[in-house]
Amino acid sequence: MKIIEKIGPVLADDDGPVIFSFEYCTPKPSHAGPEAVLDTIARMAAYGPAFSDVTWRPQPPYPENTLSLAGRMQSFPGVETNLHLTSLSMPLASIDHALATARAAGIRNVLALRGDPIEPPIAEDAFTSAIDLVRYIRATHGDYFGISVAGYPEAHPSKIPEGSDRATEEGYESDLAYLKEKVEAGADLVITQLFFDASIFLKFLDDCRRIGIKCPIVPGIMPITTYRNFKFMTETCKTRVPAEVRERVEALKGDNEALGEYGVELATAICKELVENGVRMLHFYTMNKEGPSVKVLRNLGVIAGEDAWKVTIPRQLKVREPLENGVVVAA
C-alpha cells in the first residue's frame, strides 16, 4: 500500500491519533549483519508504525544488500517498506533494476534522494538531482509508487555557508522553492532532516504552507544515543544545536548510558512540543536501535506498556495479519 493512502485518512481526521514511522540503516559489512537488523525491524513492527524506511548506499555491494533487506522487510507483518534510492552516482540501469526489484517484492514506496557524491563516480549517466529521479519514477512507473522526498528545516547543507550555523535567507527560500518543485514533479510526502529545536520545524512547516506545499510534511526525530553518532550527524547535516543541548551532550559524552537517557528526554520534549502544535506524525531515525524511539513514544503515550514489547513475530510468516490496537497479531 502506498504510504500516502495509508496515512492520508488518519491525518485528515482532526481527532485521529498521533502516528509514527521508523528508519533503519543498511548495515556495513563490518557491523552486525542483516539478521540483527531484521530482528529489530520485526520486533518494532509490533508497535504498528505507518511505514519503515531503509537507507541506500550506491557503492557495491550495498545496493543488492539493501534490496534484499527491503524485500525481506516487506514480507513482515505490519511493515510497509519505504525504500531509499539515490540518484547521484547511480547508473540508469541500476535505478531501473532497483525499481523493478522493489516492484517484484511488493514494495510500493520510494524515498527519492540526490545522495552524496562518491569518488570515483560510478556512472556518467547518473541523474544529478532528486527531482530528476522523481520525474523518472513517475515517467516509467506511473502511480505505482508512492514517492517521498527529503525536506530540510534549516535548508540543505549546501545552502549553509562555511563557518556559519545557518543558511542565508536567500538560500533558505531557494531551498523551499526547490522542495515545492520536487512535490510538483510527483512526490506526495516530505520527510525532514533531523533538528534539535521544535520551533525550527514549526517555522519550516508554516513556510512550506506559505508557498503552497500541501502534502504531509513529517518531522525527522533522532534521539541522541552516542556522542560519536551525534557529532557525525550534526556535522554532516550542519544541524543547528542549541547551546544548552550542546552543553549537556558535552558533559555526558563519556557516559553513553546517561547520554542515551538525555537523548530520550530531549526527543520526548521536542515531540511533545510538536504534537501540542498540531503535528500528527513523527518519523524516527532509529540508528538500528529499538529502545530510544520506543521510549519516546511511550513517554508521549502514543504506545502503551510493556505488553507490545513482548509480542514476537514468526520470521517465516509471509502473509500480513490485521493489527489489534496497533499490535501485530502473529498467526
Where b means 16+ CB within 10 Å and e means fewer, 46-58 reads bbbbbbbbbbbbb
Cell (9 digits) for 318: 509471509
How does pLDDT run across 33-89, given as a tens digit for each residue?
Answer: 788 999 999 999 999 999 999 999 888 888 999 999 999 999 998 899 999 999 887
- Phi and psi for 51 in degrees, rounded to 5? -160, 170
Q: What is the mean pLDDT of residues 179-197?
A: 98
As a whole number of angstroms, the distance between CA 56 and CA 68 comes to 12
Instruction: Find the radius of gyration of the CA atoms of the chain.
Output: 19
pLDDT at 325 over 70: no
The pLDDT assigned to 123 comes to 65
- Phi and psi for 204 in degrees, rounded to 5? -60, -45
Q: Which of 77-81, 177-181, 226-230, 309-313 has the least mean pLDDT?
A: 309-313
As a whole number of angstroms, the distance between CA 235 and CA 225 comes to 16
As a whole number of angstroms, the distance between CA 82 and CA 99 comes to 12
CB atoms within 10 A of CB 234: 19
As a whole number of angstroms, the distance between CA 143 and CA 133 comes to 14
Answer whether 0.85 is exceeded by the pTM.
yes
Instruction: Categorize the per-residue pLDDT at 30 as very low, low, confident or very high, splitting at 50, 70 and 90.
Output: low
As a whole number of angstroms, the distance between CA 192 and CA 204 comes to 10
Residue with the bigger pLDDT between 285 and 35: it is 285
Q: What is the mean pLDDT of residues 171-181?
A: 97
DSSP string of 201-214, one letter each residue: HHHHHHHHHHTT--
Q: What is the mean pLDDT of the chain?
A: 89
Scanning the structure block, which residue is given the C-alpha cell 512526490?
A: 187
276 is catalytic: no
Instruction: Categorize the per-residue pLDDT at 215 as very low, low, confident or very high, splitting at 50, 70 and 90.
Output: very high
Annotated catalytic residue within 5, 23, 169, 306: 23
